[in-house]
Amino acid sequence: MSQLFTPTKIGPLTLSNRIVIAPMCQYSAEHGKTTDWHTIHLGHMALSGAGLLIIEATAVEDIGRITHGCVGLYSDETEAALKKTIDAVRQYASMPIMIQLAHAGRKGSSARPWEGGQLIAQKDGGWQPVGPSAIPQLPTETPPLALDKAGLVRIREAFVESAKRAIRIGFDGIELHGAHGYLLHQFLSPIANQRTDEYGGSLANRMRFPLEVFDAVRAVTPKSISLGIRISATDWAEGGWTPEESVEFCNLLKARGCDFIDVSSGGVSHQQKIPLGPKYQVPLATTIKKGTGLPTMTVGLITEAKEAEEIIATGEADMVALARGMLYDPRWPWHAAAELGASIQAPKQYWRSQPRGLTTLFGDAKTGGR
């Protein structure tokens, strides 16, 4: 039996298999509101047969967006738009759907990737980014505004209010974005956080704000909704955040009721040196899994079904998350199931696509017609 296609639990949430669709920014929102593009895109993903869909990084305040095209959940208008999108997808797909709540911090006010991806100055229609310290992402950029105590309270409460909105919409889970050089990761990393108050310096101080945010969101999130976090387990840069610190951080999260860890890496330093290759981040997930006992997702250049199967079968991680691979092949789970001899959930409208010789791919699908 394929281990990739066995069920698993993350807190209260049961997944039919171990394939997760990782968050993928679409940069196609209008003033933070989802559009028909998101309905089409998420509809594709939700019919793919994966065990879980996590929607793109969703900003908790307007200046927490990465770009003008990023989705937000910080007003009645953004909530109504996102609810309309999710309701439309859910009408035809039963896959659990999770939201990733995020704040871009110093990486905010950027151009869309296909427009260059660089910081947009305020005079050119951008906004003033914020961060733990007045240290820019790139040396050539204008520094962010270092957050004062009032700013920290505002953002913590913004996470709480966005979580409440996500719960009203009916998401099955919430993932906090503490990776890829965005705000929560910026506080963790000594590369971006050089504060001299209780939120900077020592490891305990650098973890303080992300833990405060988690505690505040946990306090308003029902136990029936899965709550976890994505982290960058290493900065891949000298003097940066380390896997050992990640284990300590995740154990503190575990004690606070964290249900899972989504393990990625990098993003906070332009001097990062990443050893890219198939499964290059899997050992980081294994370190977190062994060091905490929490359910872990692993991501990064996992493209082959046999790779994903091996990760689960050997216990390197509990779930395999794909992002770019799913954009390239939205039916990746179908093809993996066919290769590994497993069955997959598929819409009845697509049952007739089952190739000859794979009569059990869609379970008990009836493929007749006239």
Catalytic residue positions, numbered: 182
Longest dimension (CA), the chain: 74
DSSP 112-180: PGGGT-PBPPGGGT----EESSS--SSTTSPPPEEP-HHHHHHHHHHHHHHHHHHHHHT-SEEEEEE-T
Exposure class string for 60-92: b at 16+ Cβ within 10 A, else e:
bbbbbbbbbbbbbbbbeebbebbbbbbebbeee
The tokens describing 168, both together, are: 């009203």
Q: Report how far residue 43's alpha carbon sits from residue 26's, in angstroms, rounded to the nearest whole number.
A: 14
- Closest of 10, 44, 342, 370 to residue 362, by C-alpha: 342
C-alpha distances in angstroms, 153 versus 109, 150, 197, 198, 214?
21, 5, 15, 14, 13
Q: Please count the CA atoms within 13 angstroms of the CA of 121 that sit on its side-chain side.
A: 5
8 Å CB contact between 16 and 23: no
C-alpha distances in angstroms, 173 versus 86, 97, 98?
13, 7, 4
